[in-house]
Structure 1
Amino acid sequence: MSGHGFHVHGPHDHAVEHAAHNSDKFSGRIAVTTAILATIGALFGYQGGATQNDAAMFKNNAAIAKTEAANRWNHYQAKSNKQNLAELAQTLPNVDPEKYRAEVARYKAEKEDIRKEAEKWEATSLDWDRKSDALLHQHHQWALATTAEQIAIALAAITLLTNRRWLLLSTYAVAVAGIALGAFAWLHVDPLGAVLGAGTAGGH
């Protein structure tokens, strides 16, 4: 019944309005959640890309250092050949053995310096390799964290389409797991490696 601008709502009108209000709140919550997850996922993706680029650069540095080490070892081998010839020349007749003895001593000294340089370049190459491998592992952690956030966003979309509120809990669970993976990557922590290492130590 209505009159003079006054309208009486039936019980079903209140129920519909209440449901619509709750639905709007539910949709708004999912929208905010999705925006937050997308932001976190974008940050994780950026970190993953940055670590991958650094890992590739470090691997390139390792290759350069390895090439330098190989060049030094080639030089070392050339000096060894000259030393061997000088040692052989000392045994020949009608030669001044002191002259070749001095050359042998010089080649030995030069070889020692070259050997130290070669070993230094080899150590540098191994160091760059270790840094690259560590960053590549960190990149995989960032990638897993990013994937988890993407799955959480997909679950949020399914939650909104199906209006299944229990799915929102799954969304939060996957999102928290992704954030934890991101935290491990940020702190350079490998929980799986720690667990496996503890298991290996316990087995001995």
Structure 2
Amino acid sequence: MSSGGFHVHGPHDHALEHAAHSGHGPAAHADTEEGAHSTATNKIAMFTAVVATVGAIFAYQGGATQANAGLYKNNAAIKKTEASNQWNYYQSKSTKQSLAEMARDLSPSDADKARQQAKVDRYDREKSEIKAEAEKLEADAKRWDEQSDAQMHEHHRWAQATTALQVAIALAAIALLTRKKWLEFGMYGVAAVGLGVGLLAFLHI
């Protein structure tokens, strides 16, 4: 209401001015909510970008360890085949040694006995060398098997970590749509689990 050029403030005018200055009016409240939502959206978007990047690295590591496991298992199979061949060769020498011993025992002359004994001694030396080679190949096969198993264990760790991060990204998308605070906590928690499992894989645990 105006009187003689003066503006007289009523109670409603005072309330509006107070709300405007204090930031608690309807418009200010809407701006505050919009600002908070924008901040939360930016946080979730940044979180999703970081987690997606880390998840891509984890996925690469998982694929690499799986490939290594297959390669090591193939090397183990090759070494086992070579060891088997050596044991077959060893068995062949054993058979020849047995025949030479029989020929020695049945030889009528000392000269024949000496010749057959020389064969027995040669076969015995060859058997020792073949046995050592076969045992070495078996040890190599076992080592490749162990390395393959270790790589597969790491692969499973990387896969678990990648899956957890994918779940975290899905929760982030739902949190962005629903604006549910507990979903934000959930996405952070699942992401932490994924990072923890990824750390175990990195440490070969």
TM-score class normalised by the smaller sequence: 0.7 to 0.9
Q: CA deviation at 1:93?
A: 4.8
Q: CA deviation at 1:17?
A: 2.0
Q: 2:73 touches 2:148 (CA, 8 Å); kept in 1?
A: yes
1:180 corresponds to which residue? 196
Q: CA deviation at 1:98?
A: 1.1
Q: CA deviation at 1:71?
A: 0.8
Q: Say whether 1:81 aligns with 2:98.
A: no
Distance 2:125 2:34 in 1: 89
Q: 2:87 touches 2:131 (CA, 8 Å); kept in 1?
A: yes
The number of equivalent residue pairs is 182
2:3 corresponds to which residue? none
Q: Which runs of 5+ in 1 are unaligned?
A: 1-7, 190-204
2:146 corresponds to which residue? 130
**Matching residue's letter, 1:53:** A
1:142 corresponds to which residue? 158
Q: CA deviation at 1:24?
A: 1.2
1:59 corresponds to which residue? 73
2:5 corresponds to which residue? none
2:179 corresponds to which residue? 163
**Matching residue's letter, 1:182:** G
Q: CA deviation at 1:112?
A: 0.3
Distance 1:47 1:68 in 2: 31
Instruction: Name which of structure 1's ranges 53-62 and 12-21 shifts more when overlaid on structure 2.
Output: 12-21
Q: Say whether 1:16 aligns with 2:30.
A: yes
Q: Say whether 1:117 aligns with 2:133.
A: yes
The C-alpha deviation readout for 1:165-199, integer Å capped at 9, x for no partner, is 1210111011011101111110112xxxxxxxxxx
Q: CA deviation at 1:22?
A: 1.4
Distance 2:144 2:107 in 1: 52
Secondary structure (helix, strand or coil) at the match of 2:204 reads coil
Q: Normalization by structure 1: what TM-score?
A: 0.85
1:199 corresponds to which residue? none
Distance 2:201 2:53 in 1: 17
Instruction: Name which of structure 1's ranges 100-109 and 16-25 shifts more when overlaid on structure 2.
Output: 16-25
Q: CA deviation at 1:103?
A: 0.4
Q: Say whether 1:31 aligns with 2:45.
A: yes
Distance 2:43 2:70 in 1: 41
Runs of 4+ in 1 over 3 A off after TM superposition: none
Distance 2:144 2:181 in 1: 50
Instruction: Name which of structure 1's ranges 11-20 and 124-133 shifts more when overlaid on structure 2.
Output: 11-20
Distance 1:54 1:147 in 2: 21
Q: Which runs of 5+ in 2 are unaligned?
A: 1-16
